[in-house]
Chain A
Amino acid sequence: MSQSDDSKKGLKTWLKHLFNKKEDSLPTSYQAEAQKIYGVGQLIDESWARGPSVVQTKDKKKDGKKSGPIAVTPPHSSSGSASPSLQASVRSSSSSRISRLLSSDFIQLSDLAQRAWSGCTISLRPFVYRLLLKVSSPYRSRRRAAIRQKRSKYINTVNKLLPTYPCGTAAFPSDTKAIPGNLSPSDVKNLGQILRDLPRHRLDVMAASTPHIQAMMGRMLFVLSRERSSCGYVQGMNDIALLILSVFLGEQCGVCDDDNEFICLPGCEEMVASLSRKARENAESDAFLCFYSLVGELSGLFKHRQPGIHAALTNIENCLKLIDPELSCVLTESGVMPVTYAVSWIVCLLSRQLSVPLAIRLLDTYITESVLGAGKKKPSNPTISAVTGSTLIPSSSTSSSTSTSKYSAVEKESLDKETSIPPPLPSSSTGTKKKKRRRKDSDSAECESYDHEQPIKPHDQVSYGCGSSVATPLSASSSSPNPTCVVTPKPVRYECSNIEYLHIYVCCTLLKNMRDSLIYAAKEEHSLLLSVLHNPIECPDWPKTIKQLEEVLASAFILYEQFESAMSRK
Chain B
Amino acid sequence: MPKRILKIIVLGNASVGKTSLMTQYVNRKFSIQYKATIGADFMSTEAVIDDDRITLHIWDTAGQERFQSLGASFYRGADACVLVYDITSARSLTSLDVWRDEFLVHTGGKEETFPFIVIGNKCDKEEERTVEKERAELWCKSKRGKPIEHFECSAKTGQNVHEAFLHVTKLALEQDTSDAQEVFIPEHIDVDHDTKPDQGGCGC
Chain B associates with chain A: yes
Given contacts A203-B33, A235-B36, contact A530 B42 (CB under 8 A): yes
The reply to whether B33 and A199 contact each other, CB–CB distance below 8 Å, is yes
21 CB < 8 A contacts A-B:
A22-B27, A24-B23, A25-B43, A196-B14, A196-B36, A200-B33, A200-B36, A209-B33, A232-B66, A235-B36, A334-B199, A335-B77, A340-B39, A340-B42, A340-B74, A343-B38, A343-B70, A344-B39, A491-B69, A523-B199, A527-B5
Chain A residues whose CB sits within 8 angstroms of the CB of B14 once the complex forms: 193, 196, 235
Contacts of A26 in B (CB 8 A): 31, 34-35
Residues of A in contact with B (beta carbons under 8 Å apart):
22-26, 193, 196-197, 199-203, 209, 232, 234-236, 238-239, 302, 304-306, 309-310, 333-335, 337, 339-344, 347-348, 352, 491, 523, 525-527, 530-531, 534
Least Cβ–Cβ distance between B59 and chain A, in angstroms? 8
With a CB–CB cut-off of 8 A, which chain B residues contact A342? 39
A197 and B36 contact, Cβ closer than 8 Å, known pairs A22-B26, A526-B5: yes
C-alpha spacing A86/B27, complex, angstroms: 49
Question: With A235-B36, A523-B199 known to touch, is A306 a contact of B66 (CB < 8 Å)?
Answer: yes
- A contacts with B: majority SS: loop
Write out the residue numbers on chain B whose beta carbons fall within 8 Å of the beta carbon of A22.
26-27
Q: Are B41 and A534 in contact (CB under 8 A)?
A: yes
The residue that B44 contacts in the complex, of A341, A343, A527, with Cβ under 8 A, is A527
B62 at interface, CB cutoff 8 A:
yes
User: In this assembly, does B57 line the interface, its C-beta being within 8 Å of a C-beta of chain A?
Assistant: yes
Query: Bound state CA distance, A302 and B64, in angstroms?
Result: 12
Closest 4 CB pairs of A and B: A343-B39, A527-B44, A344-B38, A235-B36
- A339-B23 Cα distance, complex, nearest whole Å: 21
A523 to B5, CA, bound (A): 16
Query: When chains A and B are docked, how far (Å) is the Cα of A24 from the Cα of B32?
Result: 13
Verify A200–B70 contact, CB threshold 8 A.
no
Contact A530 B74 (CB under 8 A): no
Total number of residue pairs linking A and B with CB closer than 8 Å: 108
The interface size bin for chain B is 35 or more
Question: Residue B197 at the A interface, CB < 8 A?
Answer: yes
Give Cα distance in the complex from A525 to B74, angstroms: 19
Partner of A339, one of B36, B70, B77, B197: B70
Which of B5, B39, B62 has the most C-beta atoms of chain A within 10 angstroms of its own C-beta? B39
Asked if B33 and A201 sit within 8 Å, CB to CB, the answer is yes
B175 → A minimal CB distance (Å): 20
B191 at the interface (CB under 8 A from A): no
Chain B residues with CB below 8 A from A305, complex form: 69
Most buried by A among B15, B57, B77: B15
B147, chain A: closest CB distance, angstroms? 31
Contact of B187 with A by CB under 8 A: yes
Residues from chain B with Cβ under 8 Å of A235 in the complex = 14, 36-38, 62, 64, 66-67
Question: B19-61 CB contact bits vs A (8 Å, 1 = yes)?
Answer: 0000100110101111111111111100000000001010000
Q: Are A531 and B27 in contact (CB under 8 A)?
A: no
Separation in Å of the B186 CB from the closest CB of chain A?
A: 9
